[in-house]
């Protein structure tokens, strides 16, 4: 690109002028139409050419050995002198202060693009950063104008990951079953000799070990009982040759304590699941009772737990009994019977944390679960407990009643890994309805009038309420879809645009009158506390807003692009150029510091951050390839601050905040030796 051309691609209308002063291209007028004519978007460097919503008018370079360049220079200079461009910033955007979300909303489309493209300010209310809800929506409806945005790609990748995990888990499960089968066979087939061998090879210890977990728990059985159990364990092998009873036993004894935590992990994976759980909640109240009060307290989890836990025990039985690859109806019946039988026994051995009781309850709940699972499934397959079993062995992706299947698999594995085979319901569009049964994917076109996404998110809801009257005929046409997304500026961003650049005017949401920067400041400061402090006296030099703004301003004024880092558990992340161009290399944690001795007279709270917190943040960041920077903001004491603000306003007061960055990373003693 010509280094001297400045293109504002904002479709803002009149000021979308293209100033071309460089030698390579012709008159200014020709550039713009050409651009408009070509549907493919201009390269990103052109779109995001301006680092700030201010244009500059650099003069062409003068090469002493090239007289023509002098002419260019003179021409450019003269044209600017005689036809002076408007003073910069030539556009002052308007934003509306929204106290509820503590952000400044930008509603004008051209302002949205300008703020995003000229310095990466703000974010779309329905997007992760760049406002592209509309594009996503178009893409979803199959419109050619829709674009695959990064969110969609991320979803896709996550989906791939989920599938990979699912495959892996499946393989693990199969290996485990093989092992179980082998052990069962070994035990049943083996006669006395094997037992003898076993005793020889790992005599008392093994037995003791198997009792161990139960003896650990406080509610454990009496030691004698435990011993008895252990003793029994070796003997019944032979007598119940066709039932994998001992394996089941062991599960009762050993696996129990760990199993429950594992299943706690198996939280509902998706909203759909949650809904399923909620739907069936009522039915499960009877199951709830035996669960320890502690687990009950795990609120949303506990439901998942409830659904999953009981069956998982069963699942193990099923697996142990039937050939893993071909479960049949008969197998299921057997399972039922067997489960009945097996859970009565554990009662004797345990009462351990009431797990046995749960297990028994599970038999009852098994049907329930099956029914409830299929109930959600619109296809209505699998009304009987048999179906899920047989489905389980099928190719999961093809299976229509995936919800069930997922549940089933989860139960068997009890792993926290998400391996939902139901691809379409685990990917979320913000417009998706809460119930997957009404998913747009099912009724792609005809659903438009009903607009299934109506109640999906609060924002969308309000938006659609506003636009309720608008008729919708052809949903795949871009013009018909109303953009439900607005643009939000964080207070720091808004203040920077207003106070530093003068490129933003914030208006009062009620009166619509502009708020001066002088009034904007206390507004933002008071709203940086959770319950906004209304009284002027409640504002202090260490207001969260002031501290954060000091950091924001510091990096912005150096040329970085700071954006909120809440996604990564930090205050800010900073980009060298912007999210479109590069990966942000640094995560910023703001650390207030009160080094001035005068602070001793004022109440303040020096943050005590634990080391594990630091390690955690550092881990999160290094996981996304960012470095942690602790930014210490030394805050002036109130007296100094008040004095400065009286004297020279916030501009003077900010000069009293000093910033020290401290780079943090883990040090590997192994690598550096």
Footprint of another protein on residues 188-207 (CB under 8 A)? Answer: 202-206
How near is the Cβ of 56 to another protein at its closest, in Å? 5
How near is the Cβ of 386 to another protein at its closest, in Å? 25
Q: Is 609 in the site for another protein (CB under 8 A)?
A: yes
DSSP designation for 367: H
Cβ nearer to another protein, comparing 96 with 620: 620
Binders in 316-335 for another protein, by CB under 8 A: 316
Binders in 436-495 for another protein, by CB under 8 A: none
Cβ nearer to another protein, comparing 387 with 427: 427
Binders in 110-129 for another protein, by CB under 8 A: 128-129
Sign of CA dihedral 207, 209, 213, 215: positive
Please choose, from the candidates 110, 122, 130, 117, the residue with its C-alpha nearest in 3D space to the C-alpha of residue 15. 110
CA angle 82, 91, 53 (to 5 degrees): 100
DSSP designation for 18: E
Of the candidates 355, 484, 486, 626, the residue annotated as catalytic is 626
Q: Which of 400, 502, 509, 638 binds another protein (CB under 8 A)?
A: 502
> CB under 8 Å to 192, separation ≥6 — which residues?
none
Q: Is 66 in the site for another protein (CB under 8 A)?
A: no
What is Dmax (Cα atoms) for the chain? Answer: 108
Query: Are 103 and 89 spatial neighbours (Cβ–Cβ below 8 Å)?
Result: no
How near is the Cβ of 468 to another protein at its closest, in Å? 27
d(CA 71, CA 67): 7
Binders in 624-663 for another protein, by CB under 8 A: 624-627, 629-632, 634, 648-652, 654-655, 657-663
d(CA 143, CA 475): 9
Q: Is 179 in the site for another protein (CB under 8 A)?
A: yes
d(CA 50, CA 32): 17
| Three-state DSSP state, 192 | helix
Binders in 344-363 for another protein, by CB under 8 A: 353
> CB under 8 Å to 181, separation ≥6 — which residues?
320, 324
Binders in 16-55 for another protein, by CB under 8 A: 43-46, 49, 51-52, 54-55
Q: Which two three-digit tokens encode residue 414?
A: 């009890």
How near is the Cβ of 391 to another protein at its closest, in Å? 23
Q: Is 174 in the site for another protein (CB under 8 A)?
A: no
Catalytic residue check, 529: no
Binders in 537-576 for another protein, by CB under 8 A: 550, 553-560, 566-571, 573, 576
Quickly tell me which residue has 């049943």 as its tokens: 188
Of the candidates 178, 519, 583, 646, the residue annotated as catalytic is 583
Binders in 243-302 for another protein, by CB under 8 A: 247, 250-251, 253-255, 257-259, 261-262, 264-265, 267, 293-294, 297-299, 301
| Three-state DSSP state, 210 | helix
Binders in 68-107 for another protein, by CB under 8 A: 70, 73-74, 77, 80, 84-85, 87-89
| Three-state DSSP state, 512 | coil
Q: Which of 11, 36, 59, 171 binds another protein (CB under 8 A)?
A: 59
Cβ nearer to another protein, comparing 21 with 280: 21
Of the candidates 48, 549, 575, 657, the residue annotated as catalytic is 575
Cβ nearer to another protein, comparing 448 with 653: 653
Please choose, from the candidates 79, 80, 90, 88, the residue with its C-alpha nearest in 3D space to the C-alpha of residue 14. 90
Strand partners, 515: 506
Cβ nearer to another protein, comparing 179 with 348: 179
| b (16+ CB within 10 A) / e for 74-92 | eebeeeeeeeeeeeebebe
Q: Which of 38, 325, 513, 610 binds another protein (CB under 8 A)?
A: 610
Query: Are 239 and 308 spatial neighbours (Cβ–Cβ below 8 Å)?
Result: no
How near is the Cβ of 172 to another protein at its closest, in Å? 8
Binders in 589-608 for another protein, by CB under 8 A: 591, 593-595, 606, 608
Q: Is 144 in the site for another protein (CB under 8 A)?
A: no
Residue 119: left if φ>0, alpha if ψ -120 to 50, beta else—which one? left
Catalytic residue check, 608: no
Catalytic residue check, 575: yes
List the catalytic residues.
Answer: 575, 583, 626
């Amino acid at each position: 690109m010509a280094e001297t051309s400045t293109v504002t691609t904002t479709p803002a209308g009149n000021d979308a002028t293209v100033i071309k002063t460089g030698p390579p291209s012709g008159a200014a007028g020709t550039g713009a139409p050409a651009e408009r004519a070509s549907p493919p978007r201009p390269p990103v460097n052109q779109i995001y050419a301006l680092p700030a919503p201010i244009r500059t008018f650099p003069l062409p370079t003068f090469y002493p050995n090239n007289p023509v360049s002098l002419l260019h220079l003179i021409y450019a200079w003269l044209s600017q002198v005689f036809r002076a461009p408007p003073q910069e910033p030539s556009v002052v955007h308007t934003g509306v202060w929204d106290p509820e979300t503590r952000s400044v909303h930008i509603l004008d489309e051209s302002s949205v693009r300008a703020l995003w493209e000229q310095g990466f300010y703000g974010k779309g209310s329905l997007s992760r950063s760049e406002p592209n809800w509309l594009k996503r929506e178009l893409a979803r409806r199959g419109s050619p104008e829709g674009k695959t945005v990064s969110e969609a790609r991320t979803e896709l990748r996550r989906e791939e990951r989920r599938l990979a995990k699912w495959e892996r888990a499946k393989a693990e499960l199969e290996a485990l079953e093989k092992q179980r089968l082998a052990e069962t066979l070994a035990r049943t087939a083996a006669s006395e000799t094997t037992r003898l061998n076993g005793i020889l090879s790992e005599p008392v210890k093994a037995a003791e070990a198997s009792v161990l977990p139960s003896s650990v728990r406080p509610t454990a059985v009496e030691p004698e009982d435990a011993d008895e159990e252990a003793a029994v364990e070796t003997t019944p092998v032979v007598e119940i040759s066709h039932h994998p009873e001992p394996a089941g036993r062991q599960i009762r004894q050993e696996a129990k304590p760990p199993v429950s935590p594992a299943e706690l992990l198996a939280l509902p994976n998706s909203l759909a699941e949650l809904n399923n759980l909620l739907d069936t909640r009522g039915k499960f109240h009877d199951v709830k009772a035996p669960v320890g009060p502690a687990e009950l307290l795990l609120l949303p989890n506990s439901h998942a737990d409830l659904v999953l836990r009981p069956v998982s025990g069963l699942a193990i039985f099923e697996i142990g009994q039937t050939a893993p690859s071909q479960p049949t109806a008969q197998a299921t019946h057997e399972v039922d019977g067997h489960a009945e039988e097996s859970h009565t026994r554990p009662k004797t051995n345990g009462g351990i944390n009431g797990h046995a009781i749960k297990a028994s309850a599970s038999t009852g709940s098994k049907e329930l679960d099956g029914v409830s699972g299929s109930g959600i499934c619109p296809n209505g397959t699998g009304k009987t407990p048999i179906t899920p079993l047989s489905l389980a062995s099928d190719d999961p992706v093809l299976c229509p009643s995936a919800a069930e299947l997922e549940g089933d698999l989860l139960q068997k594995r009890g792993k926290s890994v998400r391996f939902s085979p139901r691809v379409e319901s685990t990917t979320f569009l913000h417009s998706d309805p809460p119930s997957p049964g009404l998913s747009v994917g099912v009724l792609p076109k005809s659903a438009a009038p009903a607009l299934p996404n109506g109640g999906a998110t609060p924002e969308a809801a309000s938006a659609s309420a506003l636009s309720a009257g608008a008729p919708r005929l052809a949903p795949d046409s871009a013009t018909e879809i109303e953009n439900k997304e607005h643009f939000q500026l964080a207070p720091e961003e808004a203040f920077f645009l207003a106070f530093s650049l003068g490129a933003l005017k914030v208006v009062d949401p009620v009166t619509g009158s502009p708020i001066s920067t002088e009034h904007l400041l206390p507004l933002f400061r008071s709203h940086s506390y959770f319950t906004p402090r209304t009284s002027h006296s409640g504002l202090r030099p260490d207001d969260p807003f002031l501290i954060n703004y000091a950091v924001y301003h510091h990096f912005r004024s150096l040329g970085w692009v700071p954006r909120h880092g809440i996604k990564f558990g930090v205050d800010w992340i900073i980009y060298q150029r912007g999210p479109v161009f590069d990966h942000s290399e640094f995560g910023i944690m703001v650390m207030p510091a009160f080094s001035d001795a005068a602070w001793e007279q004022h109440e303040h709270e020096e943050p005590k951050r634990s080391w594990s917190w630091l390690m955690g943040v550092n881990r999160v960041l290094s996981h996304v390839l960012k470095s942690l920077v602790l930014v210490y903001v030394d805050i002036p004491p109130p007296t100094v601050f008040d004095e400065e603000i009286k004297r020279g306003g916030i501009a003077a007061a900010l000069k009293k905040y000093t910033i020290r960055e401290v780079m943090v990373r883990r040090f590997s003693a192994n690598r550096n030796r």
